[in-house]
Structure formats: C-alpha cells, structure tokens
Structure 1
Amino acid sequence: MDLLALADFNLVARHGGFGRASRAADRPKATLSRRVAELESSLNLRLFERGGRLLKLTQEGRALYERTEALLTELAETATSISSGGDTPRGHLRISAPLLFSQTAMGELAAKFALMYPEVSLEVSTDDRMVDMVEEGYDLVIRVNPDHHESLIGRIFLHDRLVAVASPGLPMPRGDSIAPAVMRSKRPPNTAWDLITPTGLARINANPVLSLSSLIMIRSAVRTGIGAAQLPLSLVMGDLQAGTLVQWGEVQAPGIELWALYPSRRLLSARVSAFLEFLKASFPTGAPEELAAYIKG
C-alpha cells in the first residue's frame, strides 16, 4: 500500500472533501483526487461516495480511516521527534473523564499539566459513559471500575472506598429502626446497607427520602441533616475532619478504582505517556487522601 496515497486519503477524509483538504494543506485538488483514486484502485474498494456537494465515506472507507489515522499521526510525530532530536510531548491530547473526578480534581490537574507541557493542546470532556475512543477521537479515558475491554489497556492510579456518612445530629439507627437516606438514583424503600464499624458488622435499614444525580449534591444535602448517604471517602474526608459529617461505617462493597485507559493497538504517543506519568506523580500512592487534597468546599 502506498503510504503517501493513504496519507492523502486521510487528509481528505479528515476535512470532509477534496476542496477543503486542498485549501488546508495547500495541495492541488486534482493531485489529491488522483491519489485517492489510485488508492481505491490498488485496494479494489470504493472509499468515498461521490455525488452532490458532499463527500461521504463508504463503510470500507470509514473502517480504513479509523484504523489508519492514529497510526499515521504517530508516524508523523515520531519522525518530527527524531528530526528535532528529542521526544518532547506536543500536539493535541483529548481526554474523557468522569463527572465527579472532573468536578473535584481535573481542572487543577489539567492546568498543571498544561503549564508543564506548553506544546500540548489539552482538551478534557466530562462523561460517565464508556466512550468509543477510536470513533470519538479520544487519546485517553479515565473511568471508575471499568468493564474489561479487549481493545483497551490501562493503569490504576487511584483507589477509594465507600463510607456511610451523616450529619452529627442524625443518630445511627439501632435494631429495626429505619434511617432516612439520600440516594443517587431512585431505590426501593427499605434498602439495606451492610457496614463495617469499629464494633463489627452492622446492617442499616435505609429509606430514600431524596434522589439526586450528583454526588456533590448528595454531600451538600447530607450536611443539612436530611439523611445519610453512601459516598466516596475522598469526597467527605474534609467534612469528617471538620466534624460537619460523621462516619457510620465503611460500606461492604467492592473498592473504587480509577483507571487511565488507552487503545492497546496504537503506538503510545509521547503526550499520552507524559500524562500517564503526570497522573502517577500526582497520586504516588493512589490513596483516597491524595484525591481529597484536590477537593475544596
């Protein structure tokens, strides 16, 4: 396969047309058209649907673009790095991070990284769903307890755990008493919480009195005394130290792990490697206390 023709195909696909690609790269439109036609002939495939004013990738063209764009970018960056005599991170770095981590830590982390690597253009989007990294153009995603995905590899950089907390004025129920609770989503009445307390295991019967979509909102609500809640230790550590909240116990549940994930089939770029090392340096032990240090208010 002609790599130059493949690069021209990617250029046209990226800009959505021969005219736009020609203007962006200052290349003759006729040359781009000829090179793409030669690539289609060599592959015996039609890569673009031609007609009207719009140029649309065929299914085969879309697959070729998705699988080769990142590789060509890495090749270009490698060549640039070698020719400049170093491996300084540069270029665009697009990251997806979950809502709570973004609200509490990502702004400060992103600013520090940008100051450290001024040649990297950093873009961070907030999303709790598992994005399609190739289709949506992400270089790295941060997720909480992600499901296994064969096309992704990653590193755990933070550990946390759930604790049951309440306002000091709300006593922990005993026996069959029911505690009012603030939940993240609508739950059936009389939900049972299994807790590890200093005196042993305890089961709390919790009745939802309020349903909120954000853990930050839940923390604010619990501070008023309306009910108890299960929240990450890092989020409430400051309240526990200040006495505005008290801990009833640690929730018997799998631990919380924050992962940095990236596609295993791509060469790892200098900018992604730099961000992974930056996360490791920012959270050297990965303990909840290190994340709590970023949480204000």
Structure 2
Amino acid sequence: MDLLALADFNLVARHGGFGRAARAAERPKATLSRRVAELERSLDLRLFERGGRTLKLTEEGRALFERTGALLTELDETAAAIASGGARPRGKLRISAPLLFAQTAMGKLAAGFVLEHPEVRLEVTTEDRAVDMIEEGYDLVIRVNPDVDESLIGRIFMHDRLVVVASPHLDRPAPDVPVAAVTRGPSDRTLVWDIASPTGRTCMTIDPVLSLSSLVMVRDAVLAGVGVGRLPVSLVGQDLRDGTLVHWGDIDAPEVALWALYPSRRLLSARVSAFLDYLRRAFPNGAPEELAAFMAR
C-alpha cells in the first residue's frame, strides 16, 4: 500500500472533501483526487461515495480511516520527535476514566498535567463501560480491575480496598439483626456482606434502605447517618481521619486495582508516556491513602 496515498486519503476524509483538504494542505485538488483514486484501484475498493456536491465515506472507507488515522498521526509525531532530537508532548490526548475516579481526582490531575505540558490538548470523558479504544479513538483508558484484553497493555497505578463505614452516631445492632445500609445499585432484598476485622471474619446482614447510583452519593448518605456503606478507602480516608465516619471492618474481597491501559498495537506517544509518568509521580506508592490525601488537598 502506498503510504503517501493513504495519507492523502486521510487528509480528504478528515476535512470532508477534496476542496477543503486541498485548501488546508495548500495542495492541488486534482492531485489529491488522483492519489485517492489510485488508492481505491490498488485496494479494489470504493472509499468515497461521490455526489454532486457531497463526498461521503463508504463503510469500507470509514473503517480504513478509523484504523489508519491514529497510526499516521503517531508516525508523524515520531518522525518530528526524532528530527527535533526529543519527544516533547504535544497534540491531542483523549482519555476515558471511570465515574468515581473522574469525579474525585481527574479534574485536579488533568489541570496539573496541562499546566506542566501546555502543548497537549487533553480531553477526558467519563465511562464506566469498557470502551473500544481503537474504534473510539482513545489514547489511554483508566479502568478498575479490567478484564484481560490481549490488544491492550498497561500498568497498575493505584491499589484500593473496600471498607464498611458508618456515622459515629449509628449504633451497631446485635449480630443477628440486619443493619440499615446504603448500597450502590438497585436492591430489593436483604444481603450479606463478608467482613474481615481484627477479631476475625464475620457475616453482616444488611437491610438496603437506600440505593444510589454513585459511590459519591453513597458516601454523602452514610455521612448523614442513613446507614452503613461499603466504600473504597480512597473515598473515605479523610472522613475516617476526621472522625466523621468510623470503620466497622474491611470487606473480605480481593483488592481493587486501577489500571492505565493503552493499545499495544500503537507506538507509545510522548503524550501517553508523559501522562503515565505524571500518574506515577502523583501516586508514587499506589496506596489508597495517597489518593485520599490528593483529593483532600
């Protein structure tokens, strides 16, 4: 495949027409049209639907544009970095982060990163679902205990754990009496939480009196004294230190791990490398107490 023809195809697709692409690149419109036509012949595919005044990508053209656009950008950036003798972060960086991390920490992280790297244009979206990084054009995603994906590589930058907390004004019931609880997500029946405490493992029967869709709301309701909550240390660490919440025990479950992931098929850009380094410096030990302190600052 002719790499230059592919670059011209991406230029036309990005600008939505031969005329606009020609003006943006200051190149003859006829040259771009000829190069795209040559690419279509070499692939034996029609990449654009050509109308009277409109130019629209075909399904095959859209797939080619989505798959090759980021790769060509990475090649350009790599060549520019080598030519300049360094790899200074610049350009657009798209990150997807889970709701809780985005609400509690991502604003401060993003602001600090952009102040340190003013040539980067950072875009952060909040998604709890497993986004398709390649198809949706993300450079990096932050995920909690992600499923194994051979197309992605990354690193753990934060460990967390779940604890049971309550207002200091909430009395502990007898062991066989359900305790009022605030849960995340809908619940319509009594549940049991496995608790690990210094005195051993126990089962806590709960009565979910309030169901909320985010852990931040759960924390607020627990602070108000509605019931106990099962929350990450990073979210309630400051409350435990201040005494506005008390610790009833740890959830008997594996630790929570926050991962920073990126596609293994792509070159690791200077932007992604810089953000990974920024995460490492923000949370050098990857402890939940570091995240709690970061949010409290």
Q: Bin the TM-score by the shorter chain.
A: over 0.9
Residue aligning to 2:154: 154
What letter is aligned with 1:246? V
Please give the alpha-carbon distance, in whole angstroms, between the structure 1 residues aligned to 2:40 and 2:203. 66
2:67·2:135 contact (CA, 8 Å) conserved in 1? no
Please give the alpha-carbon distance, in whole angstroms, between the structure 2 residues aligned to 1:259 and 1:250. 22
Matched, 1:41 2:44: no
Q: Which runs of 5+ in 2 are unaligned?
A: none
Residue aligning to 1:92: 92
Once superposed, which parts of structure 1, at least 4 consecutive aligned residues long, lie more than 4 Å away? none
1:5·1:36 contact (CA, 8 Å) conserved in 2? yes
Please report how far the alpha carbon of residue 250 of structure 1 lies from its aligned counterpart in structure 2 after TM superposition: 0.3
Question: SS where residue 284 of structure 1 aligns?
Answer: coil
Question: SS where residue 259 of structure 1 aligns?
Answer: strand
Please report how far the alpha carbon of residue 52 of structure 1 lies from its aligned counterpart in structure 2 after TM superposition: 4.9
Residue aligning to 1:125: 125
Please give the alpha-carbon distance, in whole angstroms, between the structure 2 residues aligned to 1:53 and 1:256. 54
Inter-CA distance 29–163: structure 2 relative to 1 (3 Å threshold)? same
Residue aligning to 2:277: 277
Inter-CA distance 55–174: structure 2 relative to 1 (3 Å threshold)? farther
Identity of aligned residues (%): 70
Residue aligning to 2:193: 193
1:173·1:204 contact (CA, 8 Å) conserved in 2? no
TM-score by length of 2: 0.96
What letter is aligned with 1:285? N
Please give the alpha-carbon distance, in whole angstroms, between the structure 2 residues aligned to 1:17 and 1:260. 37
Q: Which runs of 5+ in 1 are unaligned?
A: none
Residue aligning to 1:251: 251
Please report how far the alpha carbon of residue 9 of structure 1 lies from its aligned counterpart in structure 2 after TM superposition: 0.4
Matched, 1:80 2:80: yes
Residue aligning to 2:172: 172
Please report how far the alpha carbon of residue 49 of structure 1 lies from its aligned counterpart in structure 2 after TM superposition: 2.1
Inter-CA distance 193–51: structure 2 relative to 1 (3 Å threshold)? same
Please give the alpha-carbon distance, in whole angstroms, between the structure 1 residues aligned to 2:27 and 2:252. 62
What letter is aligned with 2:30? A
2:70·2:137 contact (CA, 8 Å) conserved in 1? no
Residue aligning to 2:105: 105
Please report how far the alpha carbon of residue 287 of structure 1 lies from its aligned counterpart in structure 2 after TM superposition: 0.5
Question: SS where residue 206 of structure 2 aligns?
Answer: strand
Q: Which moved more, 1:8-17 or 1:192-201?
A: 8-17
Matched, 1:60 2:60: yes
What letter is aligned with 2:36? V
Residue aligning to 2:29: 29
Q: How big is each residue's C-alpha offset from its partner over 1:107-142, in whole Å with a ceiling of 9 and x where there is no partner?
A: 111111112111111111111111111222110011
What letter is aligned with 1:14? R
Q: How big is each residue's C-alpha offset from its partner over 1:237-296, in whole Å with a ceiling of 9 and x where there is no partner?
A: 111111111111100122111000111100111111111111111111100011101223
